[in-house]
Amino acid sequence: MNLITIFNQFPDQQSCIAHLEAIRWPEKSFCPLCGSDHVARKVEGQKVGRWNCHNCTSSFNVLSGTIFQGTKIPLQKWFLAIGLMVQAKKSLSSPQLARHLELNQKSAWFMQQRIRAAMASDEGALLRGIIEADETYVCGKPRYKDKNNKRGRGASGKTSVVGAVQREGEVRAEVTDDTKGRTVLGFIEQSVEVEGIRR
C-alpha cells in the first residue's frame, strides 16, 4: 500500500479507529483489561471510539494495549509512518520522518521505537510467499579516513542485523551476534514459513 492510498483510505481519526476496530474485534468487542464482552460504546463526550466495560467498569478504546496507546499524534500520521518505514529501502532516520510528517524529531523518534518494537515482536504470524532476506552492519561513519577501518564482515565494533521482508507484506528484523550461516538460518526458521524445515 503506497502513501497516497493510505492518505485517501484513512483521511481522519475516525476512519483509522474504524479500521483498527475491524481488525482487533472482527466479531465482537471485548474489554482489553478483563476480557469481558459485556461492553458498550460510550456516546457521551467528544472522544471518538471510547467504550465502557459493564464488568470491570473501565473505559477503553481500540488503542488500549497497542503501540498507539496514549498517543496524541493523529493515527493517520502513525499509519503513514508505518508505510514510510516499511517501504524505505535503507534506514529512515527520525529527522527524516519528522520532516515527512511535520512533527518534531522527538515525537518521530518515539514513534519509530514503538513501530520497530512491534515489527520485531515474535507474536506475529510467520512470513509467507516470496521472501527477501539480507544482513547488514549498523554503525556511524568514521570521523577520519582510516585505511585500517574495515567495512562489511571484517568490520569491528559494528552491530550485525539480519532482516527478511515478505513481498508486499510485513518485515522481520533482529540484532544478532554474527551473520554466520547457522545464525541466519535460525532467524529464518523463526520468521519464515519454509517447507522442509523442522521447528
Would you place residue 15 in the very low, low, confident or very high pLDDT band (cuts 50, 70, 90)? very high
Average pLDDT over residues 17-38: 90
Reduce the DSSP state of residue 127 to 3 states and report it. strand
Average pLDDT over residues 6-18: 92
Measured distance between the N- and C-terminal CA atoms of the chain, rounded to whole angstroms = 32
183 contact partners, CB below 8 Å, separation of at least 6: 162, 176, 177
Distance CA 68, CA 35 (A): 19
42 contact partners, CB below 8 Å, separation of at least 6: 50, 51, 52, 59
Predicted local confidence at residue 198, as pLDDT: 37
Reduce the DSSP state of residue 117 to 3 states and report it. helix
More confident residue, 184 or 78: 78
Return the closest-CA partner of residue 13 out of 44, 47, 45.
Answer: 47
Q: Which of 8-12, 55-59, 158-162 has the lowest mean pLDDT?
A: 158-162
Predicted local confidence at residue 197, as pLDDT: 43
Supply the DSSP symbol for 154: G
Q: How many CA atoms lie within 13 A of 147 on its CB side?
A: 0
For 142-155, the pLDDT digits (tens) are 555 555 555 555 55
SS3 annotation, 44-108: CCCCCCCEEECCCCCEECCCCCCCCCCCCCCHHHHHHHHHHHHHCCCCCCHHHHHHHHCCCHHHH
What percent of the chain has pLDDT above 70? 79
